[in-house]
Amino acid sequence: MSEPDRLFAQPHARVTDFAFNEDVVRVFPDMIKRSVPGYATIVENLGVIAAQFAQPKTALYDLGCSLGAVSQSLRRHVQQDAVKIVAVDNSPAMIERCREYMAAQSAMYEQLQPIEIIEADILNLQLEPSSVIALNFTLQFIVPEKRLGILQRIHHALHPKGALLISEKVRFEESTEQMLIGDLHIAFKRANGYSELEIAQKRSALENVMLIDSINVHRERLLEAGFSSVTPWFQCFNFISLIARP
């Protein structure tokens, strides 16, 4: 169903801001796999981790679900009774395709957890009592001044034995480290078949819409939002995944 990502292969007269529209949806599985080091490992293990924190009679949220990869992993790994998985995205094109993928998964496997797929802005979403909330590469697309507020709402919704699972691209505060790891990420993209033109045009498309923080900024903000601990469980180059406990 997914096409190879050639969105930035030809020179664009003017590179416009990146948007999660139908063109992106068509190539998304290929794009994210070739751009985010460790993506498949992160997605699979978010299910494994979620199974340790999920509590009966609570919701498990996949916020900024895109095509629902994390929700699919949660459905396969979490066995607790009476949990409800809720996948949320504000891109109509993503949600439409997500529903198709989820229907295909439901048809293929028995005994999957129930799922609700919602088109909504996570900034306006009323969160039900939850035990696991995943923000898998989503917070980086939220305007910086709204990030603390959403983390505070997530903290408020979380069961004491639950967890926020958050993955992000990060920057490094020390410039030589930033240069080294940034270059290694570019090498990863080259190794996955992206040309210099594709890498450069994608970078300018994301410049104004994906604003990344350092690990320290994430940690401090999560603590300010009320979380008691922040534990990195995965890093590959400048891509990390953290477990934040209420």
Residues that bind ligand GEK (CB under 6 A): 20, 32, 43, 64-66, 69-70, 88-91, 94, 121-123, 136-138, 141-142
**Can you say how many angstroms the Cα of residue 131 is from the centroid of all Cα atoms in its chain?**
17
DSSP letters for 180-210: HHHHHHHHHHHHTT--HHHHHHHHHHHTTT-
Task: Tell me: is residue 68 an annotated ligand-binding position.
Answer: no
User: Smaller CB distance to ligand GEK: residue 199 or 223?
Assistant: 199
The C-alpha atoms of residue 121 and residue 187 are separated, in whole angstroms, by 34
Q: 65 among the known binding-site residues?
A: yes
39 among annotated binding-site residues: yes
Residue nearest to ligand GEK according to CB distances in the complex: 64
Nearest distance, CB of residue 109 and ligand GEK, angstroms:
19
Count CB-CB contacts under 10 A for residue 71: 31
DSSP annotation of 111 reads S
Residue 68 CB, nearest approach to ligand GEK (Å): 8
**How near is the Cβ of 38 to ligand GEK at its closest, in Å?**
12
Residue 203 counted as an annotated binding residue? yes
Q: How far is the CB of 65 from ligand GEK (least distance, A)?
A: 6
Return phi, psi of residue 117, to 5°: -115, 120
Would the annotation count 213 as a binding residue? Answer: no
40 or 184: CB nearest ligand GEK: 40
| Cα distances (angstroms) measured from residue 152 to each of 27, 31, 128, 163, 177 | 33, 31, 14, 13, 31
Q: Which residues does the annotation place in the binding site for S-adenosyl-L-methionine? A: 39, 64-66, 89-90, 121-122, 136, 203
